[in-house]
Amino acid sequence: MTDMGSSTEPEQLSMPVRARSGSGSGNAPYAIIETGGKQYRVAVGDTLSIEKLPIEQGSDITFDRVLMVGGDGSARIGTPLLAGATVQAQVEQQYRGPKIVVFKYKPKKRYRRRTGHRQSLTRVAITAINA
């Protein structure tokens, strides 16, 4: 019999810590915008990938569908949109996402179809929140 160590406590596994961006901290202003049928929580300096927009790389864009602005101690919520609130962003890249394999299969019928799909996306960097 071998002695594995003098400690009687079980070994604890360390769980990976998920990194958080600066958008979730304290009183940094943030906004919730809607684009491409989805809602995003954004703060100044954030970079996010959204559904493709027909805009050239390097140009500026204004999101006027702002649902909520908060982070300065009080949140302003629209019904459904905030009047006069906008979010400024700059288009960094137009690209295509990873390939998704779609495999259709019917058992015992020799039916197999393999197709792929790559979504067109736009990467934007948030530059300003005007509330």
Evaluate if residue 6 carries a pLDDT over 90. Answer: no
Domain chopping of the chain, boundaries = 26-130
Beta bridge partners of 20: none
For tokens 């929580």, the residue is 41
Are 30 and 41 spatial neighbours (Cβ–Cβ below 8 Å)?
yes
Amino acid at 22: G
Per-residue pLDDT tens digits for 29-88? 999 999 999 999 999 999 999 999 999 999 999 999 999 999 878 889 999 999 999 999
Judge contact between 89 and 117, C-beta under 8 A: no
The residue among 52, 54, 53, 25 whose CA lies nearest residue 41 is: 25
